Structure 1
Amino acid sequence: MIFVTVGTHEQPFNRLLVAIDKYAETRNLPKDSIVVQKGYSDYEPQNTTSEKMYSLEQMEYFYEKADIIITHGGPGSMFPGWMLGKPIVAVPRQAKFKEHVDNHQVEFCEFMEKKKKVVCVKEISSLSNVLDNLINRFQTKNHESKTEAFIEKFEKELALIFEGKI
């Protein structure tokens, strides 16, 4: 399963939703194989399962069950996937598309890609190829719950970031 989250920022992120919807359609994927938290976007995906927002419990479940996580460029949406050892595809919101007020998400995604924490997709046209490559290399098999390990690793990662060590 692929889990897509655009976060809770109030500007739409239709560019990502259109691309993931087209991906599902062209790959003829079952509707429940891609779950989308679409936030304040006004595009309505036709080929995925989607809701504006999910509860915390639902979000945790989707992070846990996902083979791949696609997220906007916010660190809060990336951390759960990192802690679970999931491949993260980060599609940063960009000011030129009126998805955010500036390009801090682009800068953060580029930084985290250099640290090998995410695959940063700035050009939405490359998303399909990135996903196909990840699916071929990184599908999770028989995933077991790692909640305790997630919390411990999350706290350590945050400390390292705040200390400027990563």
Structure 2
Amino acid sequence: MSGFVPRQRGAVPYVLAVVGTDVHRFDRLVEWLERWHAGRSDAVRLVLQYGHSRPPRLPEATPFLGHEELQRAMAEATLVVSHGGPATITEARRTGHLPIVVPRNPAHDEHVDNHQQLFSRRLGAAGLVRLCESETELVAALDEGVADPSRFVLAADPDRPDPRAEAVARVGQVVDDLVARRVRQRAGGRRG
């Protein structure tokens, strides 16, 4: 794929999946998406930004998207699937999506630590993302979103002056809390 091609009105549902730019591979998510899309290729358009993962066997895949290209792709998407990176999650929410989030797992050499899991679980518990830590959960979320995309659209709150600012602030607070907890854990480990 040479770049993002905007969705045309009346087209099939469009799923944008983003693994981010981390140097670690995220082949597990790539494989899950390939298997899910294999039986739905005529009914769903899947665009996958796969980063440093192995190139997927999908017609619309690109290693990286520029910032503006990513913004346009998110704005056009029916559903957004994301790794557990705070910036990508925030961007998906900013464009009106409840992102389907699959955090990278260091046990699979997908990241250096478990911060994506901790962050994503916290957001999932708060209802800020649809957390999927297994292929079964991902398939269920994708099928649900394709059948009823409105379940993954963020509703505007007329009593809130800027709902995006509140979401960004909440995400920032979660990151701050996780970092503070990690610092306390490391400091506690050094004393003993």
Query: TM-score scaled by structure 1?
Result: 0.82
Measure the CA separation in 2 of the matches of 1:160 and 1:81. Answer: 14
Q: Which residue of 1 aligns with 2:97?
A: 86
**Which residue, 5, 28, 34 being the options, matches 1:15?**
28
Structure-2 change in CA distance of 1:163 and 1:71 (3 Å) = closer
Report deviation, 1:163: 5.4
- C-alpha offsets along residues 60-90 of structure 1, whole Å, 9 cap, x if unaligned? 1110001110000011001122122213100
Report deviation, 1:154: 3.8
Q: Which residue of 1 aligns with 2:48?
A: 36
Give 2:60's aligned amino acid. T
Matches within 5 A, 1:130-149: 130-139=141-150
Query: Is the Cα contact below 8 Å between 2:81 and 2:102 reproduced in 1?
Result: yes
Give 1:53's aligned amino acid. F
Give 1:34's aligned amino acid. L
**Which residue, 21, 36, 40 being the options, matches 1:27?**
40
Give 2:87's aligned amino acid. G
Which consecutive residues of structure 2, in runs of 5 or more, have no partner in the other structure?
1-13, 154-161, 178-192
Structure-2 change in CA distance of 1:3 and 1:27 (3 Å) = same
Report deviation, 1:3: 0.4
Q: Which moved more, 1:113-122 or 1:78-87?
A: 78-87
What root-mean-square deviation, in Å, do the aligned CA atoms of Structure 1 and Structure 2 show?
A: 2.3
Structure-2 change in CA distance of 1:40 and 1:115 (3 Å) = same
Query: Is the Cα contact below 8 Å between 1:67 and 1:139 reproduced in 2?
Result: no
Which consecutive residues of structure 1, in runs of 5 or more, have no partner in the other structure?
144-151
Identity of aligned residues (%): 23
Matches within 5 A, 1:1-166: 1-29=14-42, 33-42=45-54, 44-139=55-150, 153-162=163-172
Query: Is the Cα contact below 8 Å between 1:89 and 1:119 reproduced in 2?
Result: yes
Q: Which moved more, 1:119-128 or 1:90-99?
A: 119-128
Query: TM-score scaled by structure 2?
Result: 0.72
Q: Secondary structure at the match of 2:58?
A: coil
